[in-house]
Structure 1
Amino acid sequence: FRLKANLLWPAMHQKTKPFNYYEENKTIADEYGIVMGSSHIEPMLRNNMGGAEWDTEYPGQAWDYLQNRENINRYWEKRVRGNGKYENMYTLGKRGKDDEAGTEITVEVLEQIFSDQRKILGQWVNKDLTKVPQVLIPYTEVLDLYNLGLQVPDDVIICWPDDNFGNIRQLPDKAEQMRTGGSGVYYHFQWLNGATTAYPWTCTTPLGLIRSEMKKAYDFGVDDMWIVNVGDIKPAEINIEYFMQLAWDIHAWDHSNSSRYLKQWAAREFGEEPSAAISEIMGRHYELGYARRPENLVLWNGRRKELSWEWFSLDHYDDEVQRRINDYTDLIKRVDRVYHSLPVEMKDAFFQTVVYNVKGTALQNLKILNAQKSHVYGRQKRSSAAVYAAKAQQAEN
């Protein structure tokens, strides 16, 4: 109720059971007025991750529409038949399992898939398909197919994706804005896949970026469906609420007052006295973290078979590495000061929403940046290399 959201895509990680594994889930969602949907790799409310529903129900069979169309349609139909009486937003299309491109997918194949899926929806949900909520998320390679001429049924929402990093890739032109299905946005506060640029840990997406992208989307008529990949909820609580406030009233906040939002949030949660300090801490956390997300401070270069980790310069910008070390050291001191000033009953909530975000990101930076200085100074035969190695180890501990 507080967030005013009403649409949910369940998590589909391989270590958890699919949402529909538990029969009561769809009933509980319906009782709470939650519309259930599924992501771009889970058409027709089906979890297709390795080891999940497809592998369980059709073990060893190809997830390939050209080879196995009949069984794939039967698989989708079973879910729609069981869940069709509840409120759902049905994702159309098909990608590969495990969030990969479908190797058999072309414009022609995808259009045939749309037709088959809509026949299933017409049979089990409503013969009038304009009354069945449907969405296509043209994610990565599917967006390329769309731009090659893929024909999407006019009553289907096109949910425009970002680039996984909070920058919307494409927005509707004038003709697309006239479609009866309308438009939506699929946004990310975290991204988890096999790429080394994934960022599934702390939340470092600046509020200003969120507002800029969502206001741009709103100005292009994208207001039928907004959904955000939040990852782990706790680190992203501030961002989730901000995103939903924009969805409720896009004019409530602008570029100049994200700090006021943070101060208002902090005052509500922890009282007026520390609110300004908390707002400044989180603003600086977003600024530093977005410059280089903590998950991406060390990347594996598969082509060169080596690690890449020297993103900041010791020689330029007045020793950029040391300035960043100093900034994060200061941020740790500031967040600790607020933590120790709070009453005991507020400390857990403050740790979960602020301290963990800030100190986790800061310590990862102190570890890698001090290690970088130790590595460079070691090559230069400086005795101070051992000092920075000890600092990196201290941050790791």
Structure 2
Amino acid sequence: MRTFSLTSFCFLLVRHVSAIGQTTCAVFQSSSQDFTFPVVQNGIATPVFVSPDDWPGVQIAASNFVADIERVTQILPSLSNVSASEGIAKSTTAIIVGTLGQSSLIEQVVNTTNLDVSSIRGLWESFIGQEVANPLPGVDSAYVIIGSDKRGTIFALYDLSEQFGVSPWYWWADVVPTEHSELFLMSSGCSHGEPTVQYRGIFLNDEQPALTNWAQQKYTNLPGLFIGGAMGTETPANASGTGSPFQSEFYSQVFELLLRLKGNYLWPAQWNSAFCVDDPLNQPLADLYGVVMGTSHEEPMMRSIPVEWTLFGDGIWDYDVNAQNIHNFWVLGVERARPYEGVFSIGMRGDGDLPIDAVNPIGTLETIIADQRQIFADIFNTTDVTTIPQMWTLYEEVEGYYEEGLTVPDDVVLLWTDDEHVDMVASPRDYKWVTSTQLSKLYEQLSLCVIRDAVRIWMLNVGDLKPYEREIEFWMALSWDSSVWNPDNVDGFVTAWAQREFKLDTSDAQTVAEVVANLTRYNARRKPELLNTTTYSLVNYREADRVVEAWDTLANVSTKIYNQLASDIQPSFFELVQHPVLASQTLGKMLIFAGQNNLRASQARLSTNELAEQVQELFEKDHDLEVEFHTLLDGKWDHMMDQTHVGYAYWQQPMTNTMPAVNRVQSRKQALPGVMRIIPEGSYGAWPGDDMFDCAQQFNCPAPTVLLDPFNPFGNVYIDVGSGGPVPFTWSATSNVSWLSVSTTNGSQSPSSTENRVFISVSDWSQLDAGSTLAQINFTAVASNQSDLLVPVMVEAQNTLPQVPSDFTGQSLRICFVESSSLGVVSFEAAHFARNTSVAGISWKVLPGLGRTLSSITPWPRDGDNGANFSAGTGPSVEYDFFVVSNITNLTVVTRLSPSLNANGPDRPLAYALQLNSQPIQTSYFIPPDSTPGGEPLAWGALTDSPQT
């Protein structure tokens, strides 16, 4: 495989923005220096020739190739099927396309010119392309495109189509091709060796309601059509048919997209569909296109479960008691699939994707696999079933069986499951609405697969497909050529993607990359389906307010880009960027505002009602955005956003979107304590009056106190002055000290202006002595026909400058992290270490963009020292210098870790260790030794952090 440096990659992004992460050979003006070959020049297109004996999939791709040239140049090249015996009519130039060992035309070119094809002969899905002089009689020069096999040729054509300016998503995401009047290919051409991953696929799973409803509207349904076994011997138990819309017209679009992305493997929609039954053309059409078919982890032997078993099965789905009927069912599935290219799923799960019901599940599964292997031997008439591609998915309890000793033949691919990618339906909560997976997370996980040589099969659960276009393409780019990508150029992928899809300059494309990075970062902090009204703190660290501000900033930036785009480009930007940004912003703000509404109701604040109105408006806006998506391009994608996402009560989707509960206060009734409400930052309570949060006693509580210190990251604290009812009032704030700065010292509140936020800070810390200094601010409200209302707020300024210890080894206090005594925490990013100590060639590497905020760190290289374990304190380490100014004896350290399994084996379990100064080292294991095989630690379901005291 080729090597690709970051430097050259960046150069190519500038010169050839249509190509993402690939060596390019397409240019748009002739250059004698580059020795270019004309594809379209002076309004004339070079003819394209394919041999009639080449694969049908090559013929289809060649037809799409010339159509792509027309999409870019408005000129359609001729496409001709010409055999070697017929010859090509005299032509100055030609483009000759074909597969080595299949195309007689290519064989003639190779024999005539002695073209060296040794670099691809016998390889998997490889190709070369270059200009060749006098390739055939009557042809002066030709650009010859040769694939090592059928998909090698197909990928060579689609590779050039993308370079010409046609996005793989031109239909599925309405990306407008980039137009050029002329096209050229560098004479030296493009080539590619074997892909990183052999089978690279997507799984259309959990496809209801969105994809199913959309397809039901767009494609003709043919109920009652069945194709059973090799000879059609099955009779459906349910004569009504599947009713599935996923038929050949639908799948032709999926097949083309998959191949344009250089994927080759598909698990079809499953839950109310049966690929081989829904349409008798589905199975042969996949093979015609050149797509390898398979079935999911719970659908062995190329048969759909539960649909086909419901239609054709006899008895219960239990191998211990109904083995012969199930065996016969599988036999017909293999007979039906034998003529076509596929990877067979083996093993078995119980009905409804549950564990099998067996007294001895390991013994039963070993019997099942042995019987399935015998079916292969019988139907394929072979004594060597290792030549038949097979895979077995270690999903949930099945992994436990494997860990407990279940044996699997060595030729069977073990497909390990990872629930961290793009779409999932499972506990604790499914997620399948909008994009919520960071590309940096995909890279981190998949690069581990490459290092461990787990590169036979990669399968991505893409749900409805449509909301995850960018993530699917990055997955395919990594599986096609992992050598191109590294932790530092993931954002470069999105920049190039934005340039290709939206015709943006480099600056705006980088802005889009930042928008995408933040969109997925914010949604990955907590999946949208897992958000609730108190996910983000309503009172601490201004977290909820900062989240709202971040969403608003992101939406404004995205909208600015959207508004400057040409009208024909806006639909694709809306689908791929603008909608997920606005939809996520709307949901996030709605839930936060609902939480604030609930809190303010308990604080007797009139602004409670305003927040209730905003929640209602955002709830309606959520639907408006769905309607806008559905009416885009005359309803092309109607129903694609049908997925519900508001009002989850358990792991499964709600049956309808439900607005979060809100409260209202009586707008015409004054709160019992008076016209004014005082709420200091960090408090759930409010003054004056009784509030359960004002003090432990819950009544007759003292005046509130706010704390200030020089290391508070905000530099101030705030006090909210709110209305307690319909009576307007004016207020003033007076301090008894000169060193206290008050942002606003007076104001007026009324039903039309219910809230005012006052910021308190120390104007000059040098005026204060070390230690604590007290002050008081009196908030006085004046209202007509009422006595003045006074609420004192105590201010404690903690001037706690740290004393640098004599043995401090940091460079200076300025680059260290110092506890804010008023907040009681010191916080820093993983990447902000003071020292990075290498051991055995392993150190800690920053992974930009991964995580909740800035980045993450991981040991690097991943396979350093052959994956050996280190005793705590002896391995590679990072050190952080920080100061704690509070007078405390115990510290609680909270680390945020990405969930990981013991991929190095049970003898080398993953763990991390922490040490504070010279205190004892404390070690935590990701998966404790007593965890159930195949399961996850109980703590994973309850805790997101790992505290160390």
Amino acid in the other structure paired with 1:8: L
CA distance in 1, matches of 2:350, 2:548: 42
SS of residue paired to 1:313: coil
Q: CA deviation at 1:192?
A: 2.3
Q: Which residue of 1 aligns with 2:537?
A: 313
Q: Is the 8 A contact 1:190 1:200 kept in 2?
A: yes
Identity score, percent: 31
Q: Which has the higher strand share?
A: 2
Q: Deviations over 1:231-278 (max 9, x none)?
A: 122211111111111111112122222211111100011113331221
Amino acid in the other structure paired with 2:512: I
Q: Which residue of 2 aligns with 1:3?
A: 261
1:79 aligns with 2:333: yes
Q: Which residue of 1 aligns with 2:485?
A: 253
Q: Which residue of 1 aligns with 2:287?
A: 30
Q: Deviations over 1:74-111 (max 9, x none)?
A: 11111111111111100011112232222327111110
Matches within 5 A, 1:162-241: 162=418, 164=419, 166=420, 188-193=421-426, 195=427, 197-241=429-473
How many residues end up aligned between the 2 structures?
357
Q: Which residue of 1 aligns with 2:518?
A: 284
Q: Is the 8 A contact 1:235 1:356 kept in 2?
A: no
The counterpart of 1:386, out of the listed 609, 622, 626, is 609
Matches within 5 A, 1:26-105: 26-49=283-306, 52-58=307-313, 61-104=315-358
Q: Which residue of 2 aligns with 1:111?
A: 366
CA distance in 1, matches of 2:544, 2:380: 58
CA distance in 1, matches of 2:433, 2:443: 22
Q: Which has the higher helix share?
A: 1
SS of residue paired to 1:228: strand
Q: Which residue of 1 aligns with 2:582?
A: 359
CA distance in 2, matches of 1:341, 1:40: 46
TM-score when normalising by structure 2? 0.37
Q: Is the 8 A contact 2:538 2:595 kept in 1?
A: no
Q: CA deviation at 1:126?
A: 4.8
Q: Which residue of 2 aligns with 1:263?
A: 495
Gaps of 5+ in 2: 1-258, 621-949
Please, which moves more after superposition, 78-87 or 130-139? 78-87
Q: Which residue of 1 aligns with 2:568?
A: 345
Q: Is the 8 A contact 1:325 1:366 kept in 2?
A: yes
Q: Deviations over 1:299-357 (max 9, x none)?
A: xxxxxxxxxx52211122x2211211111122222222211111011111111111222
CA distance in 1, matches of 2:614, 2:492: 36
CA distance in 2, matches of 1:5, 1:130: 23
CA distance in 2, matches of 1:260, 1:24: 40
CA distance in 1, matches of 2:600, 2:379: 68
Amino acid in the other structure paired with 2:304: N
SS of residue paired to 2:431: coil
Q: Which residue of 2 aligns with 1:184?
A: none
Q: CA deviation at 1:196?
A: 5.0
The ranges of structure 1 where at least 4 consecutive aligned residues each deviate by more than 6 angstroms after the TM superposition are none
Q: CA deviation at 1:68?
A: 1.0
Q: CA deviation at 1:285?
A: 0.3
Amino acid in the other structure paired with 2:534: E
CA distance in 1, matches of 2:309, 2:599: 50
CA distance in 2, matches of 1:47, 1:360: 35
RCO greater where, 1 or 2, for CA within 8 Å and sep 6 or more? 1
Q: Which residue of 2 aligns with 1:169?
A: none
CA distance in 1, matches of 2:602, 2:377: 68
Q: CA deviation at 1:58?
A: 2.5
CA distance in 2, matches of 1:89, 1:330: 47
Q: Deviations over 1:151-191 (max 9, x none)?
A: 001110111111x1x2xxxxxxxxxxxxxxxxxxxxx3201
Amino acid in the other structure paired with 1:46: R
Larger Rg: 2
Q: Which residue of 1 aligns with 2:193?
A: none
Q: Which residue of 1 aligns with 2:378?
A: 123
